[in-house]
Amino acid sequence: MPNLNNWIKLKRNKSLTIIFSITAVSVIISCVNLLKPSQVKPDIEDLLIGNIAEEEDSAKSENNEENSPKDNETNAANKMKRVQQNGSQSSEHSAGGKKYQELYPDLYCIRPQKQVNPDKTIFLTFDDGPSDRTLEVLDILREKGVKATFFVTGNCPAKGKSIMKKIVDEGHTIGVHTYTHDFKRIYASVNAFLDDFNKIYNLIYEATGVRPTIFRFPGGSKNGFNKGNYRELIQEMTRRGFDYFDWNLSAGDAVSRTPTPVSRCISNVLNASKTCAHGVVLMHDARPKVTTVEALPAIIDGLAKQGFSFDKLSNNINPAVYSLVKPYR
């Protein structure tokens, strides 16, 4: 009998040992599982903090665009560099199941490998023509011996094509602005922008025999109508080889529906140009812009007195220093 009791005790001890071992293992596993979230959490928090910091840096960069002209040039150049680095990446956005990169396979141009930043040079630019005002502007430019750049639209009179050809024949640059100038329609999507761009691009080629390589976004590259997709628009147009030019000087002739006084157009340009090493001047040659034409001779003379020379824009000019700057001072 003692042997039987000993055997029973031995069996019971073994059973307790097994149960204890199983319980211990279960507790250990539970502890390990409980510890895992706390080990992963810091990495997630770091990632979130990194994203927040990146957004704050981006916001700071955009705020800095309203600082000095030199700071504007640095910030804009950095942004253009990022756009060009991303330009080769394939976009997954599409409309109607078709990627916009596949649209208009002939709508491309070749960008020079090296672009220059001319010092002490002014580029006079005119948007929203052609019109009768364009002919007046051309007369003044011819008299002053100055070349300029015209970003044209499709909203032109019957003689619009002949005016476009005159722009080119007189040695000026012609660039794309917009066909419809309907901001809501143009900026509705990348597809919509490409549709409009292709129309005016082909109209210019038909009228002049020139295939434009530069353009200006209606309202500037960042405005209230494209704030949701301007980065995507810039990336796609840059990928296609086109360069866009904003401005760092403006006559302020489009800030209201009533014509800007001649004296104001002149002072808007000449006061701001005193702090610029070089500049792109925004003006308009749509039919109502009578005071712009009247102010033009004084603007040219004043800039010349400040030591500037004049030239026309092309894709040989580095557009980065004029991009994404505050539209009006």
User: Has residue 326 got a pLDDT over 60?
Assistant: no
C-alpha 157: how far from chain center: 30
User: Has residue 245 got a pLDDT over 50?
Assistant: yes
Q: What is the DSSP string of 241-308?
A: T-EE---SEE--TTSSSSPPPHHHHHHHHHHHHTT-SSEEEEEE-STT-HHHHHHHHHHHHHHHHTT-
Which pLDDT belongs to residue 138? 98
Q: Which residues are catalytic?
A: 127, 284
Q: Specify the higher pLDDT residue, 56 or 100.
A: 100
Kindly indicate the confidence band of residue 238, based on its pLDDT and cuts at 50, 70 and 90.
very high
Q: Specify the higher pLDDT residue, 327 or 108.
A: 108
Q: Specify the higher pLDDT residue, 40 or 201.
A: 201
Predicted confidence (pLDDT) per residue in 112-136, tens digit? 999 998 999 999 999 999 999 999 9
Against a cut of 0.75, is the pTM above it? no
Do the beta carbons of residue 96 and residue 295 sit within 8 Å?
no
- Nearest to 199, CA basis, from 107, 315, 99, 313: 107
Q: Specify the higher pLDDT residue, 173 or 37.
A: 173
DSSP state of 317: B
Mean pLDDT, to the nearest integer, of 62-68? 38
Three-state DSSP state, 97: coil
Which pLDDT belongs to residue 8? 54
Which pLDDT belongs to residue 257? 86
326's tokens: 């505050």
Beta strands in 141-248 (DSSP E): 149-153, 173-178, 214-215, 243-244
Three-state DSSP state, 116: strand
Which pLDDT belongs to residue 321? 73
- Express as a percent the part of the chain with pLDDT over 90: 63
Predicted confidence (pLDDT) per residue in 100-113, tens digit? 999 999 999 999 99
In angstroms, rounded to a whole number, what is the distance separating the alpha carbons of residues 237 and 233? 6
Do the strands 249-250 and 149-153 form a parallel or antiparallel pair, or are they unpaired? unpaired
User: Has residue 86 got a pLDDT over 60?
Assistant: no
Which pLDDT belongs to residue 208? 97
Do the beta carbons of residue 280 and residue 319 sit within 8 Å?
no
193's tokens: 């922008």
User: Has residue 327 got a pLDDT over 90?
Assistant: no
In angstroms, rounded to a whole number, what is the distance separating the alpha carbons of residues 152 and 154? 7
In angstroms, rounded to a whole number, what is the distance separating the alpha carbons of residues 32 and 235? 47
Three-state DSSP state, 151: strand
Which pLDDT belongs to residue 255? 87
